Structure 1
């Protein structure tokens, strides 16, 4: 039995707030559910006697198994990677939501204390992220699930700014699983597309879009598991959006927007309109010959915006006033106002 499904579902409520900045929804709908989910997690966590850190368990890594030192195939362990990553995500979401709502109470103190003591993800001796609490032999090295990469996607714990070592380990983990035959279902392929998008590898993501369409899509465009399973359809389109725009770094009040973070060479020129970004932004992007041509960012929340551009660029208002330029790392930061539109163009 795997008990993290409720916590994972609660993530969607926080994500709805991050995209819309709807504080009434956060206060009345999202936060009560997120809090109750975390109350369960706080009661569920136990102290690892070896480290003093908090771990989930007994638990599993969904549908997978490992072999212990005696060669037995087992499914149960303490502190499996997906559990720990979902719990980190849940506690982080709860504390961010509480901060927005101005809540500081006994629950937030317990959540913050548990987050500080939560056992982190681990990188094994071979450079891959450990799926289990120890570097056990894998019973199925090419397993269809990528559970221990939740922190890469759909979570937000791993990114190149804060955890570059885990991004490198995530890539090695993903490539190893694929080399052993992973990704043989449509929904699994959709995970892979999103993971490579978060790794900023557009060509690899595009390769798996082609595989999704060639091997796991029925004539009516339904994803086949088999049989039909909507995960591949929704996940595949989500991956395409992630290739063109990302905003999972930062918080709802201080988001980071990345333009064309994983543009594949197979899409040399194109445009996308109306993609939503966290922080209450809507984004249009045009590119030509593999390079950003222009982007427009509309603000519905009035929060500061930090935008990353793949080429040196400047940000201007509708009136043409330049308000920001990218720094050496490709970021331009500016204050936004509700209803205003900001234009991003390369420096020519």
Structure 2
């Protein structure tokens, strides 16, 4: 049984320029102990999709279903959401400096997190706070627990955020761009820490990033989002070695050292689709080198292209891979679609 089951999730915002369609009909599952990666460019709807599940998108219209351990998160009252948020579903945000209060000591903030959900004494909460800082690798935790956030480096602040997320032993952690502001060495340390802690605690993890390289070693399953929709979903190995959707292929080709190309990187042309005026048909078609007439008018659904591998693309089921002849692929697709 899935720990989290999301079905047909829609999230929209009213703005001065029109209706922002941030998330459009997203569905996915997270199994207990699983790591799910959600990737895509900035503005693809990754963050809004996950934050809407825990009530962190004020002013938005949210439709759909999100069953967590059998209860629909989207149907809960605010008080019920608060009882789940933090205690059973925790979040690690992109910028720990803005997430930690600058005027309170790190230990005090960890203690308040614990005491908000557990009937424990301040002394017991302080003991737990020190244990958590030790768990995430903060040196001299008993002393550093009394420091302020500005006294920690960026990597150490992110470790504090991870400690806060683990404080109540949640069943699910949502990590939203947890390594974006960190250098490559610290980024690798944080990802390794998340992997080791997950193995030790059995917590499910949803990691959100714009960088496919970040989830290369940590994710079990990967969702690729574009213009508020899931355009491809697959196991990590299938997605990296046999991408089907042209957008996924473009993301992979933009990774330094990616298989199948050498020399200069090949960026995806154009700009991400406007979420106020989403193009008809496949939203990626203005940027797609494989685009056909059908792509400009008909919206493709996610369909099976391999075992556990789905893609929202009109191209035939044979996977694109790297180095494919674009014109030959487009001609073949046209023949199959007209047959």
The alignment's TM-score, normalised by the length of structure 1, stands at 0.30
Q: Which has the higher contact order (CA 8 A, sep 6+)?
A: 2
